[in-house]
Amino acid sequence: MYGPLGDGWLAMPPEGTPKARGSHTAVSTGSRMIIWGGTSPNCGSGGGVCSDGAAYDPATDTWAPLRTEGAPSARSEHMGLWTGNALFISGEAWGRRLGCPLSDGALWVP
């Protein structure tokens, strides 16, 4: 379980952990850490660009996947911003480099 901060590291549970990735969004809601999008050879088609994510809750020491229904299309090097009550996802460098900019974005509301 999550404990008081001090010298040392506490292991996070492997169950539900999102696939290893880079160029993703990682934000804190104040009570959870949210990871979404990015690139990974473990992600589906589209050149390894991820269209999923998960939320870590240190109070319960658990990961929960984010719903993919209504999520923006897969992207990396995008902007992610915690608004105070929602995760705003917009922009995308990967698609622009390939000549196919994305115009979609979305809000994830816990």
Integer-rounded Cα Rg, in Å, for the chain is 15
Distance CA 107, CA 11 (A): 30
30-86 per-position pLDDT tens digit: 999 999 999 888 887 656 888 899 999 999 999 999 998 888 888 888 888 899 999
pTM: 0.77
How many CB atoms within 10 Å of residue 65? 11
Higher pLDDT, 3 or 29: 29
pLDDT for the residue 1: 45
Distance CA 38, CA 22 (A): 5
pLDDT for the residue 104: 73
Distance CA 18, CA 1 (A): 19
76 three-state secondary structure: coil
DSSP letter at 43? S
